């Protein structure tokens, strides 16, 4: 027998989180998936996006959920399958193609310039020897990049008059400006995140912080080796 989501909410979710949500009559949720998938390293377990969205929709005053995640054209079949899963939940998916940025193998790949000044000559020598070996190997490093800060900012501002509050699943400080505008308009702001993954600027503007690990009621998979962001199979 399936247990209603509302029972999970009241038995697992912290009471003050439920109280905050219940006070608002019209909430929109914005989920930055790339940001969220990094939370798994802190949590030590994987979550299912369908379960996150199902839980949010179980609250009658959460009226709309927008999900932001790129399309990996190098693994298009799995990427599109993952997108379909999101769309089937009733959430609105905002997407665009991922870009793959080539990285030069130099000290900047590993450390900021200020950090390098902390090392003595012996440590620096070993770092440069490692870089020489990597360059000789012919390895080409290309990292995916698909930032949705602009799209999220535009959506938050466009939706401002439709909401009494928002729930933001992101810890990115680049979203401070639209949140400050919401604050001026008297809208309530909840930031969802995990320890060490939410910028201090967002903590300063929030009305409520929600620890994702104490909010999420869905399936947890205790495997660090596989990321659903890559395969779309979880």
- pLDDT at res. 234: 40
Distance CA 194, CA 171 (A): 9
* Structure tokens that stand for 92 in this block: 């609105």
Could you tell me what percent of the chain has a pLDDT over 90? 63
- pLDDT for 220 beyond 70: yes
Residue of higher predicted confidence among 94 and 75 = 94
Mean per-residue pLDDT, 181-200: 95
Q: Which of 3, 24, 6 is nearest to 162 (CA)?
A: 24
Distance CA 211, CA 170 (A): 12
Rounded to the nearest angstrom, the gap between the alpha carbon of residue 110 and the centroid of all alpha carbons in its chain is: 23
Distance CA 73, CA 13 (A): 37
In this predicted model, what pLDDT tens digit does every residue of 169-189 receive, in sequence order?
A: 999 999 999 999 999 999 999
Q: Classify the phi-psi angles of 110: left when phi > 0, otherwise alpha if psi is within -120 to 50, otherwise beta.
A: alpha
Mean per-residue pLDDT, 25-43: 94
- pLDDT for 197 beyond 80: yes
Q: What domains appear along the chain, each with residue ranges and CATH number?
A: 5-98+147-231 (3.40.50.1010), 101-142 (no CATH)
Instruction: Choose the most confident range, by mean pLDDT, from 69-78, 102-111, 140-149.
Output: 69-78
Mean per-residue pLDDT, 85-92: 96
Residue of higher predicted confidence among 109 and 111 = 111
Class of residue 218 by CB neighbours under 10 A (exposed 0-12, middle 13-18, buried 19+): middle
Mean per-residue pLDDT, 205-227: 84
- pLDDT at res. 224: 46
b/e map of 145-178 (b: 16 or more CB within 10 Å)?
ebbbbebbbebbeebbeebebbbbbbbbebbeeb
- pLDDT at res. 230: 44
């Amino acid at each position: 027998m399936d247990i209603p989501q509302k029972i999970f909410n009241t038995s697992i979710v912290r009471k003050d989180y439920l109280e905050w949500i219940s006070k608002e009559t019209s909430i929109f949720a914005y989920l930055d998936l790339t940001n969220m998938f990094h939370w798994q390293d802190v949590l030590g377990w994987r979550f299912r996006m369908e379960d996150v969205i199902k839980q949010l929709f179980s609250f009658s005053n959460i009226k709309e959920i927008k999900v932001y995640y790129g399309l990996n054209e190098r693994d298009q079949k799995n990427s599109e399958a993952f997108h379909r899963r999101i769309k089937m939940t009733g959430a609105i998916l905002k997407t665009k193609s991922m870009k793959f940025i080539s990285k030069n193998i130099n000290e900047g790949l590993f450390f900021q310039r200020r950090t390098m000044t902390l090392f003595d000559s012996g440590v620096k020598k070993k770092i440069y020897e490692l870089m020489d070996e990597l360059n000789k190997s012919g390895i080409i490093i290309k990292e995916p990049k698909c930032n949705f800060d602009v799209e999220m900012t535009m959506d938050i501002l466009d939706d401002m008059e439709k909401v009494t509050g928002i729930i933001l699943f992101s810890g990115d400080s680049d979203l401070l400006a639209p949140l400050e505008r919401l604050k001026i308009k008297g809208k309530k702001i909840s930031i969802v995140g995990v320890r060490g993954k939410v910028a201090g600027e967002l903590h300063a503007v929030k009305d409520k912080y929600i620890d994702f690990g104490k909010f999420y009621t869905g399936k947890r998979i205790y495997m660090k080796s596989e990321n659903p962001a890559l395969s779309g199979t979880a």
